[in-house]
């Protein structure tokens, strides 16, 4: 009898586990993704999936499981209007770029915006405030934040660890896919010993599948791969789940994205061939593993740090594999042969150089410039290079020497601290700023990565221009004002209607606001817009408008 009781108990437990909710789809439209988990995005891995919605905003978003709304965040960038639902199974579902939330939450957001006089807000809720049942409508699909078109960005995170879960590979949302990934570009880089190992591009293969020749390579080299996945019913280039590199019969490198903690995402800069990504374009995964790349603990497996070592003059084979989460696999092979006459190009003699060790802090002081890089910033030993390229240029507001500090094609996990001494004219101390030097000067701050910098002064206020009808403001559903600043850049914009702060969005060079009937009633009103640049120069303009 006792034995039976135990059995019944065990059965009940497993029935309970079975009864746990399976995630449903957040949208009513057919499942199709324009972005998938693990896509390489220069400085982070895409940590969710992007659901396609047919180019329009407004579709309802359903809670994928029961739970409660734990957080909403509103920002001009990132997820824009972001929604976080905590589920009892220890996961949190995250929904990004929403047009709006539920009416009740929209009201709470607005209250908070006016209480804090801030467009950006972050609200945390208790479990009893906004409970949701699976399938409830929790918001509408939008295009807010850093989004280039209407879509729903969705993630499932482990609530405790904040680990973002790869739920495509877990099979939660897995559209049919029989199509293999595709190789777009493969590059080989030579490695040459010196005080610091130098690398240079030896082959840039833009149609890798059609290469028939035997490739000549120096004794030590590595390969970098641009591959993406294809799925039926979408032309989008999606993430490859796993990359593998073989030298003859030895696998010398593999990378599998897995579940990625957001804290490790930036190590992507060390996974990709950063100098190719510097000019934009798609990222290439490189086989050479930097000693400072923390992804190497679990996600990267390698032999000889992923370096192709040729110890004889025989023909060898490099085989590349790109595998998607369904196991579809693309394979390409190259015949390679050692050529000891290949050497790194001579370094540009106009730069000063010194070796910097990756696990240390490093610093250079030279005349009017000093740059300090903390430990943990470098992924590998580098030859740090720098030079003074010009003196002050008062016509452009440049009041210091112009310095090239390191090569911007070298990736950094952390920024360094830059000081450049300058003769600041009396009384203009507040107007001086560290600038990125180029055709235009832009505000850089003192914590910077490798680049070209100078100190400049900005005494010119931003400009602002009401868009639409010149004389009177056309009140349709909103008001838009273009704001510009040629030097240090627009830092802040403040809108007041009839003397009271009014919520507005400053994004790129446009300030926009929605006129809400509850806040702006029929009749005549004044709107005052003040714009401030980074150096505190301010411009203000006031207009009147009539709401009919
Ligand atoms: Zn996304």
CA of 128 relative to ligand 1 center, distance in Å: 29
Residue 7: inside a domain = no
Are 334 and 187 within one domain? yes
Encode 251-283 in three state secondary structure. EEEEEECCCEEHHHHHHHHHHECHHHHCCCCCC
Are 203 and 331 within one domain? yes
Return the number of other C-beta atoms located less than 10 Å from residue 419's C-beta: 14
CA of 100 relative to ligand 1 center, distance in Å: 17
CATH code assigned at 31: 2.70.70.10
Are 421 and 453 within one domain? yes
CA separation for the pair 275, 187 (Å, rounded): 12
Residue 16: inside a domain = no
Are 103 and 151 within one domain? yes
CA of 147 relative to ligand 1 center, distance in Å: 8
CA of 36 relative to ligand 1 center, distance in Å: 8
Are 448 and 489 within one domain? no
Of 139, 124, 250, 273, nearest to 199 by C-alpha is 273
Domain extent, residue 313, equals 182-338
Are 320 and 231 within one domain? yes
CA of 73 relative to ligand 1 center, distance in Å: 16
CA of 334 relative to ligand 1 center, distance in Å: 35
Do 24 and 93 form a contact (C-beta atoms < 8 A)?
no
Q: For the whole model, what pTM was predicted?
A: 0.89
CA of 165 relative to ligand 1 center, distance in Å: 14
Residue 251: inside a domain = yes
Are 447 and 471 within one domain? no
Residue with tokens 């509103």: 74
Of 319, 70, 369, 50, nearest to 183 by C-alpha is 319
Residue 513: inside a domain = yes
CA of 48 relative to ligand 1 center, distance in Å: 6
Are 445 and 498 within one domain? no
Give phi and psi for 493, each to the nearest 5. Answer: -135, 140
Of 210, 278, 266, 271, nearest to 240 by C-alpha is 271
Query: For the chain, what is the domain count?
Result: 4
Q: CA angle, corner 25, sides to 22 and 136, nearest 5?
A: 85
Are 191 and 44 within one domain? no
CA of 227 relative to ligand 1 center, distance in Å: 19
Question: Of the candidates 114, 133, 164, which is a domain's last residue?
Answer: 164
- Tens place of pLDDT for every residue, the chain, 548 residues? 344 444 444 444 333 433 578 999 999 998 889 999 999 999 999 999 999 999 999 999 999 999 999 999 999 999 999 999 999 999 999 999 999 999 999 999 999 999 999 999 999 999 999 999 999 999 999 999 999 999 999 999 999 988 889 887 777 787 888 999 999 999 999 999 988 999 999 999 999 989 999 999 999 999 999 999 988 878 888 999 999 999 999 999 999 988 888 788 899 999 999 999 988 889 999 999 999 998 887 899 999 999 999 999 999 999 999 999 889 999 999 999 999 999 999 999 999 999 999 999 999 999 999 999 999 999 999 999 999 999 999 999 999 999 999 999 999 999 999 999 999 999 999 999 999 999 999 999 999 999 999 999 999 999 999 987 555 665 666 899 999 998 899 999 999 999 999 999 999 999 999 988 889 988 899 999 999 999 999 999 999 888 87
Do 97 and 144 form a contact (C-beta atoms < 8 A)?
yes
Residue 171: inside a domain = no
CA of 158 relative to ligand 1 center, distance in Å: 18
CATH code assigned at 517: 2.60.40.1220
CA of 32 relative to ligand 1 center, distance in Å: 13
Residue 365: inside a domain = yes
Residue 3: inside a domain = no
Residue 5: inside a domain = no
CA of 236 relative to ligand 1 center, distance in Å: 13
Are 242 and 381 within one domain? no
CA separation for the pair 290, 300 (Å, rounded): 11
CA of 99 relative to ligand 1 center, distance in Å: 15
Question: Of the candidates 440, 457, 474, which is a domain's last residue?
Answer: 457
Strand ranges (DSSP E) for 400-462? Answer: 402-405, 416-420, 432-436, 442-443, 447-448, 451-457
CA of 148 relative to ligand 1 center, distance in Å: 10
Question: Of the candidates 457, 478, 497, which is a domain's last residue?
Answer: 457
CA separation for the pair 414, 412 (Å, rounded): 5
CA of 514 relative to ligand 1 center, distance in Å: 26
CA of 244 relative to ligand 1 center, distance in Å: 26
CA of 153 relative to ligand 1 center, distance in Å: 4
Sign of the CA dihedral 434, 437, 443, 447?
negative
Strand ranges (DSSP E) for 295-450? Answer: 300-302, 308-309, 316-323, 329-338, 352-356, 362-366, 369-373, 382-390, 402-405, 416-420, 432-436, 442-443, 447-448
CA of 43 relative to ligand 1 center, distance in Å: 14
Are 147 and 187 within one domain? no
CATH code assigned at 197: 2.60.40.10
CA separation for the pair 111, 518 (Å, rounded): 13
Q: CA angle, corner 157, sides to 170 and 173, nearest 5?
A: 35
CA of 151 relative to ligand 1 center, distance in Å: 8
CA separation for the pair 502, 519 (Å, rounded): 9
Give phi and psi for 111, each to the nearest 5. Answer: -55, -45
Are 291 and 396 within one domain? no
């Amino acid at each position: 009898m006792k034995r039976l009781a135990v059995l019944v108990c065990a059965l009940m437990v497993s029935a309970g586990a079975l009864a746990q909710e399976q995630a449903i789809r957040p949208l009513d439209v057919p499942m199709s993704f324009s972005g998938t988990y693990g896509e390489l995005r220069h400085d982070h891995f895409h940590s969710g999936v992007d659901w396609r919605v047919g180019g329009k905003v407004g579709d309802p978003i359903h809670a994928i499981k029961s739970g409660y709304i734990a957080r909403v965040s509103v920002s001009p960038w990132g997820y824009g209007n972001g929604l976080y639902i905590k589920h009892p199974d220890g996961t949190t579902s995250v929904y990004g770029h929403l047009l709006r939330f539920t009416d009740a939450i929209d009201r709470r957001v607005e209250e908070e915006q006016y209480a804090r006089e801030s467009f950006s807000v972050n609200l945390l809720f208790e479990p009893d405030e906004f409970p949701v049942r699976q399938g409830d409508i929790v918001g509408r699909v939008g295009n807010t934040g850093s989004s280039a078109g209407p879509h729903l960005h969705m993630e499932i995170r482990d609530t405790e660890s904040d680990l973002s879960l790869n739920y495509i590979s877990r099979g939660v949302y897995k559209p049919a896919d029989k199509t293999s990934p595709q190789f777009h570009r493969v590059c080989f880089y030579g490695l040459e010993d010196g005080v610091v190992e130098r690398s240079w591009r030896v082959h840039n293969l833009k149609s890798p599948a059609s290469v028939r020749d035997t490739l000549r390579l120096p004794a030590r080299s590595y390969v970098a791969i641009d591959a993406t996945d294809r799925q039926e019913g979408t032309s989008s280039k999606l993430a490859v789940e796993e990359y593998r590199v073989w030298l003859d019969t030895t696998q010398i490198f593999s990378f599998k994205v897995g579940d990625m903690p957001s804290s490790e995402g930036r190590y992507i800069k060390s996974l990709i061939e950063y100098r190719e990504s510097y000019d934009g374009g798609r990222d290439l995964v490189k086989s050479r593993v930097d000693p400072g790349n923390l992804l190497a603990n679990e996600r990267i497996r390698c032999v000889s740090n992923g370096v192709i070592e040729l110890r004889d003059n025989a023909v060898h084979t490099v085989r590349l594999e790109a595998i998607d989460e369904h196991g579809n696999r693309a394979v390409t092979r190259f015949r390679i042969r050692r050529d000891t006459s290949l050497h790194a190009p001579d370094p540009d003699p106009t730069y000063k150089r010194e070796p910097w060790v990756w696990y240390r802090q490093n610093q250079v002081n030279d005349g009017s410039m000093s740059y300090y890089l903390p430990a943990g910033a470098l992924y590998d030993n580098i030859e740090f290079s720098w030079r003074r390229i010009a003196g002050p240029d008062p016509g452009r507001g440049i009041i210091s020497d112009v310095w090239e500090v390191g090569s911007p094609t070298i990736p950094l996990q952390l920024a360094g601290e830059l000081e450049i001494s300058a003769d600041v004219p009396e009384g203009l101390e507040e107007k001086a700023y560290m600038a990125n030097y180029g055709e235009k000067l832009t505000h850089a701050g003192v914590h910077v990565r490798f680049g070209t910098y100078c100190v400049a002064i900005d005494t010119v206020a931003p400009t602002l221009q009401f868009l639409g009808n010149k004389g009177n403001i056309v009140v349709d559903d909103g008001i838009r004002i273009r704001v510009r600043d040629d030097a240090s850049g627009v830092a802040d914009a403040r809108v007041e209607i009839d003397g009271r702060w009014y919520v507005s969005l400053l994004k790129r060079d446009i300030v926009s606001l929605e006129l809400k009937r509850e806040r702006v009633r029929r009749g005549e009103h004044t709107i005052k817009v003040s714009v401030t640049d980074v150096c505190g120069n301010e411009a203000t303009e006031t207009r009147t408008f009539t709401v009919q």
